[in-house]
Structure 1
């Protein structure tokens, strides 16, 4: 670092601070912007005379600091694009302009209009100031005295090289250097009064006392002076609420404007969500949310969706929803805490690198690992502790609630983590468990699937702050376990009806006993109960043997003794006599119970979960159907909800609505005529039902075929390697409309257990047009339609058609010879990947293969065109 001297352009000021040095950031704390303008222009005039490159960062609504000159380069920036995008852009400009450029910034206090919190201004300065120092620049900044909290000013003082107090009292200007890095004189830190070109130290105690006597009038010592702008804003909102009954028309208009402002700052930036928020939330509602907010900023899509849905139902007078809904007592960790976590752990330059094309994935991997080990500020940790004290030893769940999550068009279903904290042990142990969960969710914002998802939707450069929703886990104690009676997901529109006379508009649910994790995820060897809300007793599967096989066999619970989430067998849960009302959701498994009796096993019963009594003898189905339709009407859009169900002492059911978001749907499509005269030799496969994605009439240009027997013979390591190879083939599909590709593979695509199917991530099949899962039951590889899971939602959003093929079914034809006898072009596409050519084929069909499916008749055929 050079320590070359530079001039402020003011002889007296140069003498007072012993000149500027290369690397200096100079922060002026002023009452009036005009005073900063005067000194900034003097500095620029001198710098131009010395042939320095001067750059003006223009971003505020106030009058320009510098006048237009050909010698000055001006960048016009928009802070409303968000902290990350704005800060990243400033960082890029500094990089582009290179070493030894001189900068003048607009007043930082004006950033409050866009960001509403001092915390983010402090973060901005802590990111940009060291980079300017590193780039050997000199930069001028200003802040308005009294507009920022002591904490923010302290962070600026700590980071900058020079902090100068500038007062204008009765026409006299005083400069009081508070910090001057690497310089000292006996009078440097005294107030100086400006006289012509001189800066005269004020050494007389009487004159100094008179000068500082003016400071209380400027706000020093004012209680509000200690507060962040954010807190001051909410204090103003509370005052409006306190006088709501006596407000004039102007006051009521002011209240509505306050609601709109706070919704933008705390709830959402998305237009449709904002419209709903300002329509349904009162000022009292917003202040209630604020009272449970840790930090500042937005509470994120998941939290807003949950709160908004509850408010919509509360306003619905057709049904007494208070009698049906379980109340919530959630907390929200604001999005600003996420950025502060990055900044104060020193990772912002890595964050900027991750936003570049070259570093998008590579830097993300490094940053993700670092985020698993970061530290939080003491003030935030204190708020975390208070929240945990409130929950006591009740289990909680730490859920992602990012800015882009659960919005119109981008569900991010399953892309980010949610972590259960069983919350047992000493206070320090419980706190450690919570922080670990928080870091896990934060780091999940940079997992590969999420990055791919954002990139495909053009969101890779968007601000994606991770807010957090902390919820008390809904449920009850069942001996050493804690879980809700039921967990489920619901859809107001059933995109994938499986029978001719089902009404898509009636919606559907996916229901499990216990925690709802297996209701939203594909679970190996386990099946939730799927029900169409217009005909809930009809299942997508046939006889009792299938109903038993494709039902739930394991239950997700929180083990209070082991302090962790567990998946235990339903039979084990029954054996432990945990008091579940099985007669409401199941029927006795007579065959298994007969064997239990034969083996003289006492106090054990086997059940099959069918939910018949729940559906027929309670108001559960009408209530869920009513809920979904009420929310869909308010949203003017199909919705997707997550919920739990508990029964209370009077045997009534309470529904806990834990999530609501717009549902991405595919239309059923028009009727497709299925040809009856297809030659069986040309038929690749045909099935009745077992497909998702509405009607389809699609030509196929490429088929990726995985041989079931060959795959089953691979080692576990090679199965993973084969999955990565399919990911490479997926990347080769530049445009899925131009190269519609069908993947045909045994078992479950996306399985976490390689023996049950391909262990690909969704990002490795995202460009595929049609996915066919084929049964290879001899090795236990069975397809799973997974209606309503996160996998299901991914298929909808990526417009991927799905079909399950059961070769042994009477209603299925699967011509394996056509696949096995086809020529593979794997060598031509990936010349180095020949290890798996006996297991994997890439068949170029030259658009001579057609797939047709009709939703109404449930008929599907895939065949070669002669």
Structure 2
């Protein structure tokens, strides 16, 4: 900054001389430099000090505020020219221009003050600002604005209020509530339903613990927020809320990467241009996503973040980690984003540098997943596309124990406070539902191949959907997900390769397969060589202590959230005499999406047999869909005969194109086995993006090698269907009460070429049936009676015109 060093003459203020940029040589003035150096000792307070300096300049009439700002703007423009910007409106962003003006304003303030008022007055201003610094007080009145107060001031003031005797605390409870709300909004969530619960549950010590575990700046995200809130709810103890389970509930040792770090990462690696990716057409988003992932993987992190992560690894030692997404919208009230973003396991068994590199790579992959096509489409479909979705990261020590070379939890799964299925009239929905597995819980929340988690109704935990020993054996868990410590990797292995008679918790989770029956293990001493085990979890589900813990936790969370919830959990079995104890570890908790219920569905008993297109029995939801004109039908038998995997893969893409082509129609999709399975042998590989316009997704179960594919209930895929108002219905072909009118679906004219001409060559496997054109303008109605566990799809007559495009849907 160039200034004039002459004295004040005849009472006329000395102004910094204007220079002719860029030809005039730069000069400096000692008083101005002295002020600059003095203010540099107050890096945070200097803004307040300079504001007071300007107030004195304006108050004493040395210069008006308007004239001062005019000179600042002129000098800012001159500085642009000096730096080679000759078209500043297009060459410089607005926020850079503001930063430029702020710096010029500071330099200009120093120069004016040095030439006209001097250092003595500056010292007075500095002392004045220092004396006005906010500080904690034990006064009843709050002497600072919490919204702009420093972190430590908020924590200390909150601690002072909480330490007051009850009569005094009553006088300041509104101030304490405000401080907690400010801390929650800054650090955890600004979602009002969440804040309403959290401010009642958290104390200042809880919030300080979260703050100390935060890496970088920003919020900790929805998944982390839901986990810590659920834990705090279950730590409450009072006679009116029921039994005290606080000592039997915990959460994993966790760290939180703040939601602002992804901005720093993308800015540092020139990836900020991706912010508008969400507005591109879906085809472009899909096409560009692989390159976006690669760009993230090549990126680097700020050094301070790397050092903090290095310290985290030192603290967790050799314990495996899971790196989980925790976006600001994730696990929100109404929108769970279940399975939309990625999580990755870090076995953490290498050298310090190898473990750090693996951790950084996992974080980059989670960041990239925020731009995956399914997540963006989900946001579009739910009206959230314009929200600034920032991705925080939840780092958790994996809960479990080492058994030989493997590491895994004894019990893991998902729990729902409301049971979405009734496979028996005795079942009470309000007492909850579990999907349990042995090992890491991925097999409970994801759609996995050739496997069946244990389904548990907590009102009647021993009442299984299956009844015979053969069915129980068939619908049991066959594989386990775990960490192989020796190979430093995540693995899926057959249960019988890991489970043997030496496993310490064998009798709690397994039964002996005796062929015609399954025998409970009363003592491992009674085991014989060659015994085969089936994972039944029968001991746990007979133990009132385990069932009560799970039921109490889910019902209490629902009561505090004031809405049904679903959780992910692990359970530790703690040996004790005469019966074991159990510790529930909450991994996440979120509000559970449910369909609104407006009344029961009653299936008529006089439907003409020739009008019935299909029937289903067992695990039926409650609901009704009317006016269905189109059916997308993938023939399950012909699908199994397809010789090439590429054709099976293409069928999923075709369904995605038909989903778009029929978006203004009422249609359902029917096909083999597990929709969305990664294993093409078990079902058509589709994602949420391929099926979100359908009204019902029907899974046609054909027995293969003695097994029928499992349904999607309780998985992330199932949650997608529920949130989108899509019913999931299974027809177990060959089982009592299940039927399909094969002739109708195979012999009706195929309209595939009309809606997707380029896919007509796949008509042998996939058919689009226009019900109106083959039934004299009738429609399909589907009634689902969950109370009596039965469903029917049948033809009905109405007043439709053949060119009518729209239908209606009645949701129950």
- 2:568 aligned to which of 626, 642, 645: 642
**2: distance between equivalents of 1:496 and 1:523?**
20
Q: 1:698 to 1:498 in 2, by over 3 A?
A: farther
* Counterpart selection for 2:740 from 814, 820, 823: 814
The 3-state SS of whatever aligns with 1:754 is coil
Query: Partners of 2:454 and 2:538 in 1: how far apart?
Result: 11
1:853 aligns with 784
1:862 to 780, 793, 807: 793
Matched, 1:415 2:340: yes
More deviation in 805-814 or 429-438?
Answer: 805-814
Matched with 2:310 is 385
- Cα 1:649–1:808 change in 2 (3 A) is closer
Partner of 1:557, secondary structure, is strand
Q: Is the 8 A contact 2:251 2:587 kept in 1?
A: no
- Is the 8 Å Cα contact of residues 705 and 745 (structure 1) preserved in structure 2? yes
Alignment partner, residue 199 of structure 1: none
Structure 1 residues 136 and 514: CA distance shift in structure 2, 3 A: closer
> Where does residue 259 of structure 1 map in the other structure?
180
Counterpart check, 1:173 vs 2:112? yes
Listed one character per residue, the Cα deviations across residues 696-723 of structure 1 (whole Å, up to 9, x for unaligned) are 2423111001122332232101111111
Residues 515-530 of structure 1 correspond to what in structure 2 (within 5 A)? 515-530=440-455
Give the secondary-structure state (helix, strand or coil) at the position aligned to 1:31: helix
1:778 to 1:321, Cα distance in 2 relative to 1, 3 A: closer
3-state DSSP of counterpart to 1:165:
helix
Counterpart contact for 1:748–1:757, Cα < 8 Å: yes
Match of 2:248 in 1: 324
Could you say which residue in structure 2 is the equivalent of 1:157? none
Q: What is the rounded CA distance, in whole Å, between the counterparts of 1:702 and 1:212 in structure 2?
A: 80
8 Å Cα contact 1:500/1:855 also seen in 2: no
Q: CA deviation at 1:486?
A: 0.3
1:294 maps onto 2:215 in alignment: yes
The residue number in structure 2 matching 1:31 is 50
Corresponding residue SS for 2:337: coil
Shift of 1:354: 4.4
Contact 1:850–1:862 (Cα < 8 Å) also in 2:
yes
C-alpha displacement at 1:586, in angstroms? 1.9
| Shift in CA distance, 260/136, structure 1 to aligned 2, threshold 3 Å | closer
Pair 1:134–1:353, CA change in 2 (3 A):
farther
Distance in 2 (CA, whole Å) between partners of 1:671 and 1:140 is: 62
**Equivalent in 555, 570, 594 of residue 480 of structure 2:** 555
- Corresponding position of 1:40: 69
How far does the alpha carbon of each residue in 1:481-526 deviate from its partner, in whole angstroms, 9 at most, with x for none? 1111100111111122223332221211111111111111121110
The equivalences for 1:616-635 within 5 A come to 616-635=542-561
Residues 834, 99 of structure 1: alpha-carbon distance in 2 compared, 3 angstrom cutoff: farther
Could you tell me which runs of 5 or more consecutive residues in structure 2 were left unpaired when the two chains were aligned: 1-14, 26-45, 59-64, 135-145, 519-526, 773-777, 798-812
1:711 is aligned to 639
Contact 2:469 2:517 survives alignment (8 Å): no
Q: State the 1:352 CA deviation.
A: 3.4
Cα deviation, residue 616, structure 1:
1.2
CA displacement, residues 252-295 of structure 1 (integer Å, 9 cap, x when unaligned): 54433221111111111111001111111112211111011111
Counterpart of 1:665? Answer: 594
Quote the Cα distance in structure 2 between the aligned partners of 1:12 and 1:782. Answer: 87
- Report the RMSD for the aligned CA atoms in angstroms: 3.5
Residue equivalent to 1:688: 617
Q: Is the 8 A contact 2:293 2:365 kept in 1?
A: no
- TM-aligned CA deviation for residue 343 of structure 1: 1.3
Map of 1:759-798 to 2, 5 A cutoff?
759-778=685-704, 782-798=708-724
**Cα 1:675/1:525, change in 2 over 3 Å:** same
Contact 2:545 2:581 in 1 (8 A): no
Question: Residues 751 and 767 of structure 2 are in contact (CA less than 8 Å); yes or no, is this contact kept in structure 1?
Answer: yes
Partner residue in 2 for 1:133: 91
Shift, 1:38, TM fit: 4.3
Task: Report which stretch shifted further, 722-731 or 666-675.
Answer: 666-675
The separation in 2 between residues aligned to 1:816 and 1:19, in whole angstroms, is 91
For residues 523-547 of structure 1, what are the alpha-carbon distances to aligned partners after superposition, in whole Å with 9 as ceiling and x for unaligned? 1110001011111111222322111
Asked if the contact 2:346/2:359 (under 8 Å) is kept, the reply is yes
Matching residue of 2:810 = none
Aligned equivalents of 2:639, 2:604: Cα separation in 1 = 33
The alignment partner of 1:728 has SS state of helix
Q: How far apart, in 2, do the equivalents of 1:528 and 1:704 lie?
A: 29
Give 1:657 deviation, angstroms. Answer: 1.2
The alpha-carbon deviation at position 557 of structure 1 amounts to 1.1
Once the 2 structures are TM-superposed, how far is the Cα of residue 236 of structure 1 from its aligned partner?
A: 0.7
TM-fit CA distance, 1:330 = 1.0
Change (3 A) 1:167 1:316: farther
Q: For the residues of structure 2 that align with 1:643 and 1:536, how far apart are their CA atoms?
A: 18
Shift of 1:357: 6.1
* Cα gap change, 1:616 to 1:212, in 2 (>3 Å): same
- Between the aligned partners of 1:484 and 1:254, the Cα distance in structure 2 is 43
Distance verdict in 2 for CA 1:472–1:231, change over 3 Å? farther
Shift of 1:41: 3.4
Q: Deviations over 1:149-184 (max 9, x none)?
A: xxxxxxxxxxxxx75633657xx725xxxxxxxxxx
> Which residue is 1:235 aligned to?
152
Would the alpha carbon gap of residues 357 and 504 (structure 1) be closer, same or farther in structure 2, given more than 3 Å must change?
same
Shift of 1:605: 2.9
Report the CA distance shift for 1:336/1:604 in structure 2 as closer, same or farther (over 3 A): farther
SS in structure 1 at match of 2:217: coil
Separation (CA, whole Å) in 2 of partners of 1:239 and 1:408: 31
For residues 137 and 493 of structure 1, what CA distance do their matches in structure 2 show?
49
CA drift at 1:31: 1.6
Aligned partner (choices 12, 17, 26) of residue 12 of structure 1: 17
How many correspondences in the alignment? 710
C-alpha separation between the residues in 1 aligned to 2:584 and 2:235? 14
What pairs with 1:564-583 in structure 2 (closer than 5 Å)?
Answer: 564-575=489-500, 579-583=503-507
3-state SS of the aligned residue for 1:849? strand
Q: Hey, what's the Cα distance between the residues in 1 that align with 2:164 and 2:607?
A: 78
- Could you state the TM-score of these two structures normalised by the residue count of structure 1? 0.76
Deviating more after overlay: 808-817 vs 518-527: 808-817
Contact 1:643 1:658 in 2 (8 A): yes
Match of 1:333 among 248, 257, 267: 257
The C-alpha deviation readout for 1:179-224, integer Å capped at 9, x for no partner, is xxxxxxxxxxxxx8489xxxxxxxxxxx9x989978976989x999
Alpha-carbon distance, 1:393 to partner? 0.6
State how far apart, in whole Å, the 2-side matches of 1:351 and 1:753 are. Answer: 33
Query: Could you tell me which residue of structure 2 aligns to residue 347 of structure 1?
Result: 271
Residues 699 and 851, structure 1, Cα contact 8 Å, conserved in 2? no
Answer whether contact 2:415 2:434 (CA < 8 A) is retained: yes
Q: In structure 2, how many angstroms separate the alpha carbons of the residues matched to 1:307 and 1:338?
A: 22
- Structure showing the higher strand proportion among its residues: 1
Contact kept? 1:454, 1:460, Cα under 8 Å: yes
Distance in structure 2 (CA, Å) of the matches to 1:749 and 1:38:
70
Q: Distance in 2 between matches of 1:461 and 1:442?
A: 18
> 1:679 pairs with 603, 608, 612, which one?
608
Seen in structure 2, the aligned counterparts of structure 1 residues 164 and 143 have a Cα distance that, compared at 3 Å, is closer
Contact 1:100–1:138 (Cα < 8 Å) also in 2 = no
Counterparts of 2:93 and 2:490, CA distance in 1: 50
Counterpart residue number, 1:88: none
The residue aligned with 1:724 is: 653
- Give the SS at the match of 1:856: coil
Deviation of the 1:771 alpha carbon: 1.2
Report deviation, 1:480. Answer: 0.8
Alignment of 1:431-580 (within 5 A): 431-575=356-500, 579-580=503-504
Question: Structure 2 matches for 1:54-203, cutoff 5 A?
Answer: 100=87, 133=91, 139-141=97-99, 165-166=106-107, 168=109, 173-174=112-113, 193=115
Contact 1:495 1:666 in 2 (8 A): no
Q: Which moved more, 1:443-452 or 1:773-782?
A: 773-782
